[in-house]
Structure 1
Amino acid sequence: MAVTLDEIHVADPPHAWRDAGFTVDDDGTCRVGSVRIRLVGRARGTGIVGWSLRDLPGDAAATDVDGVPTASSVTPPSTPATHANGVTHLDHVVLLSPDVARTRAALEAIGLDVRRERDGLLAGAPVRQLFLRLGEVILEVVGSPDETGDEPSTLWGLTHTVVDIEAAAALLGGRTSPVKDAVQPGRRITTLRHRDLGISVRTALITPHVRAG
């Protein structure tokens, strides 16, 4: 069985996500496609503080994947909620790595495969990106191609697929960046001004994948 993403744990209050047009259940769970985003409040800190994965290999039921707090799950995928902002599912999760080779080895040890690898620039600095699959969600690992560090990896940001990106930006008013072309051909993207919304996770909205041909 392929490893899939069950939950992401975010140290935000539920009202902040509701203000951003997300539907949040009474228990603090935001169901985005098949993934549950569990909003655990500021008592846990800020940002993404952990995740749970399904179908981990029997010898990989660890509590940590390259520094990321990890739980093993047998919970079935969630039933998607309908969100006022038009979000349909989680497109990708960004993981920042201080040592890309080390992170790659840790992810491969739990049964994930690197589907694609590329070198590029981020804010003028060289980066290496690895792309892996966690069910319907892409895991994007980002780090330096040359430098390494001993720090743990961190789950850094979320990008959600949205039906109508112009309508989502209008709903959020001035709390998004201008909609622009994404790196992926044919797609458009906007970034939430997450701090203005009381959200501690870097968050983007993107149009659906464009099928070739």
Structure 2
Amino acid sequence: MIGLRALRVAGTTAPWTALGFSVRPEPLVPGLDIGTTSLDLEPAAAGIIGWTLVGEGPAQLDGLRTTWIDDPGPLRATLHPNGATRLDHVVVMTPSLQRTTGALGDAGLELRRTRDAGTPDRPLQQGFYRLGEVILEVVGDVPPEGPARFWGLVAVVPDVDALAGQLGPRLVGTPKDAVQPGRRILTVRREAGLPVPFAFLTPDPRRG
């Protein structure tokens, strides 16, 4: 199975530390490790720059910058004060879901299911993939025209209500029931300074 090993993300460590993440000590590459995924930070860039997948394939997946590596073994376990145990999913936006899922399929990623979303005025569809312990969610058809693009991240924590009290209203919103049955979600505010949309989600009761 193709797995997600790393994401290259813009920014510095300070906003992540403020949100309760443990970052790597110097002189290691600036960033943090969540479960089996490494987030490597680059101060001079914007958003999510690219990803590293375990396997082999092309350097572009419908515009998503991709590095491929052989299985490097497990990351060192990291304990985060906010309780984060892993990334739940990575969100990609595309103006053509058919085109993007086709490119991912050609590279060997298996589309597990699709789901209708959005509203009658703005219909959307989501496609879901499994990349090791992380889910890839592809959302289309979303303007503007062009290649697919990385959008946001969601991490798993045991209790979003407790975490909201720990972090405070300046950094996060109000916990609420998630779309996924039996789960609750907590969205990080823009004022927190992360370079990408980010949320915390309670564990899937079917997976833990």
Count residues with an aligned counterpart.
202
1:55 aligns with 2:52: no
Q: Deviations over 1:15-71 (max 9, x none)?
A: 111111111102312110000011111x12x21011000012xxx2x2211101111
* Distance in 1 of aligned mates of 2:87 and 2:121: 27
* Distance in 1 of aligned mates of 2:39 and 2:76: 12
Equivalent in the alignment of 1:169: 164
Alpha-carbon offset, residue 149 of structure 1: 6.5
Q: Which runs of 4+ in 1 moved over 3 A?
A: 147-150
Equivalent in the alignment of 2:82: 85
Equivalent in the alignment of 2:181: 185
Task: Name the TM-score, length of structure 1 as normaliser.
Answer: 0.89
Q: Deviations over 1:79-108 (max 9, x none)?
A: 231111111100000000111011001111
1:33 aligns with 2:35: yes
Alpha-carbon offset, residue 123 of structure 1: 10
Which secondary structure state, in structure 2, belongs to the residue aligned with residue 87 of structure 1? coil
Superposed CA RMSD in Å reads: 1.8
Alpha-carbon offset, residue 78 of structure 1: 1.5
* Distance in 2 of aligned mates of 1:182 and 1:136: 19
Equivalent in the alignment of 1:19: 18
Q: Percent identity?
A: 41
* Distance in 2 of aligned mates of 1:206 and 1:148: 27
Q: Deviations over 1:185-206 (max 9, x none)?
A: 110001000x312211100000
Which secondary structure state, in structure 1, belongs to the residue aligned with residue 205 of structure 2? coil
* Distance in 2 of aligned mates of 1:126 and 1:80: 40
Q: How does 1:135-154 map to 2 (within 5 A)?
A: 135-144=132-141, 150-154=145-149
Structure 2 alignment gaps of length 5 or more: none
CA contact (8 A) 1:35 1:77 kept: no
Task: Name the TM-score, length of structure 2 as normaliser.
Answer: 0.91
Alpha-carbon offset, residue 76 of structure 1: 2.3
Gap change, CA 1:99 and 1:32, over 3 Å in 2: same
Tell me the amino acid that sits aligned with residue 79 of structure 1: R
Which secondary structure state, in structure 1, belongs to the residue aligned with residue 125 of structure 2? strand
* Distance in 2 of aligned mates of 1:206 and 1:124: 28
